[in-house]
Amino acid sequence: MARFGRAPHYAATGPAPPPAPTPPAQQHYCPGEMRLPVNLRRNSLSLTLPPAPPAPAQQPYRPSEMRLPINLSRNPLSLTLPPPLPRVPPAPRQFHSFHIINPPRRSPSDHLPNPLFPTSPQRGRPGAREITSLSSVEAGKRAAAYAAVDAHFGNAPGHVGIGSGSTVFHVVDRIRQLSAERISNTGFVPTGHQSRELLRNAGLRVVQLEDVPGRINVAFDGADEVDGRLNCVKGGGGCLLLEKLVAIRSEVFVVVADRAKQSRALLTSYRRGIPIEVIPSATPYVLSELRSLGSTDPRVRDGAPAKLGPCITDNGNFIVDAPFPPLATSGAVVELAESLKGIVGVVEHGIFWRGDRRPERAFFGGVEGDWEGVEVRPE
C-alpha cells in the first residue's frame, strides 16, 4: 500500500539517457573582438575587427599652413594661404582748425608745429597757411599780454584780478616768469573756474573775491568787443558778474585782446548779442522786456554740447544773449546799459561802459605778432 506524500519508485527500463553536454571553457577577452551578449555563450560567437592603422607621424607646424581640428588627425589636411599683400601707407591727413582744440593722434613723422607760437611758413604741406596765420595771431596776443603785465603789474602788488579768455593764458604765463620777490606775497583773484585752474597750475596763490579786504591793485581781462572809447562787451564765457565785480573793485582795469575785437561801435562785429545773467524764474519776463527794448531775437544760451539744457553760471543763473542794433554813439551805450539794469530779474549785463567800469587801457595784438596800446579818449 503506497504512502501519501512520497513519489512511487519505478524501475528503470530501456536505454540510459545521454550525458549532459560539457559547458565550453571560459574564453578570454581580446581587444580586437566584439563579444555577443551573455545569453548566447553556449553558442559563442566573436566578430573580429581589422587592426587599427598606425597613427601618422607628428607633422611639424608651418606658419603658412592652417591645420584642421584634432578629430581629423588620422587624415591630416593643410590649407596653404597666399602670401600677405604689401602694406599700403595711409594717405596724408588734412589739417583743420578744429584740430587745435581736439588734435588727432599723430606719428612723429607727421608732427605739426604748435599753433600757439610763431613758426616759419611751411611750403608744400596742407594747411600751412592756416597754421602760419594762427601762430601769428597768437604771437600778437602774447606780445600784447606781456606788454600789459610789464606796464601795469607793478612791484609786489597785494592783489591782482585775473579774468577769462584766450589772452589771459599769456597774461598768467608772463606773471609766472616774474621774480619771486614780485609775486610771492601777491594774491590772485580769479573770475571763474577757468582762471582759477589756470592760476593753480601756474603755482600762484589764489584768493577768493570775498576774502579781499580792500581794493584790488590791477585786473587783467579779455573782451569780446571794444569800441573807440573802450566801452566793452564781455561775458561770452558766462562769467560776466564776477568779471564786473573784480573790475569795479580794481584801481586799474586793463583789457588784453586781439585786434579783431576792435570796432568803431559796439555790436558791430560781435553779433551774438549782449550777455545778460538772469534769475531762472524771471526768464520769460526778461525775454519779453528785451523784445520791447528792441532786441531782435533774445535767447537763453544753450549748454550744448557740454550739457543738455540751458547754460548755468557759477551763481546758478541763466545767460540770455540779446542781439541789438549797433550802438553808434556813447549815448546809445549808456541808454541801453541803464535800461537793461532796470529790468527786474536781470542780475547783471555784459556792457562795461563809462559809468560801469570800462578799462583805462587796452592792449591789442596784431596779426603780424605786434601789439598796440589804446587809452581812454576824453569825451
For residue range 77-95, list pLDDT tens digits in order: 555 667 777 776 665 555 4
With beta carbons less than 8 A apart as the criterion, state whether 273 and 323 touch: yes
Mean residue pLDDT of the chain comes to 78
Question: pLDDT (tens digit, 9 = 90+) per residue, 199-233?
Answer: 999 999 999 999 999 999 999 999 999 999 999 99
Residue 221: partners with Cβ closer than 8 Å, 6 or more residues away:
161, 162, 163, 164, 165, 168, 191, 234, 243, 246, 247, 253, 254, 255, 256, 359
Question: 8 or 205: which carries more pLDDT confidence?
Answer: 205
pLDDT at 345: 97
Q: How confident is the model at residue 320 (pLDDT cuts 50, 70, 90)?
A: very high
Question: 346 or 109: which carries more pLDDT confidence?
Answer: 346
pLDDT at 347: 96
- Check: pTM over 0.85? Answer yes or no: no
Q: How confident is the model at residue 237 (pLDDT cuts 50, 70, 90)?
A: confident
CATH topology of domain 133-375: Rossmann fold (3.40.50)
Question: 201 or 44: which carries more pLDDT confidence?
Answer: 201
Indicate the range of 127-136, 246-255, 315-324 predicted with least confidence.
127-136
Over residues 230-238, the mean pLDDT reads: 91
**pLDDT of 346 over the 60 cut:** yes
Question: 191 or 120: which carries more pLDDT confidence?
Answer: 191
Measured in degrees and rounded to the nearest 5, phi and psi for residue 11 equal: -75, 145
Does the active-site annotation cover 243?
A: yes
Q: Which of 57-66, 168-177, 297-306, 368-377 ranks highest by mean pLDDT?
A: 168-177
Over residues 8-16, the mean pLDDT reads: 52
Q: How confident is the model at residue 97 (pLDDT cuts 50, 70, 90)?
A: very low
Q: Which of 6-20, 41-55, 99-113, 301-315 ranks highest by mean pLDDT?
A: 301-315
With beta carbons less than 8 A apart as the criterion, state whether 225 and 352 touch: no
| 3-class DSSP state of 371 | strand
Q: Which amino acid is at 159?
A: H
**pLDDT of 39 over the 70 cut:** no
Over residues 320-328, the mean pLDDT reads: 95
Which candidate in 138, 225, 243, 348 is catalytic? 243
The structural domains of the chain, with segments of one domain joined by +, span 133-375
pLDDT at 231: 94
Residue whose cell numbers read 600751412: 128
With beta carbons less than 8 A apart as the criterion, state whether 170 and 145 touch: yes
pLDDT at 188: 98
pLDDT at 37: 54
Secondary structure percentages of the chain, helix, strand, coil, to 5: 30, 20, 55
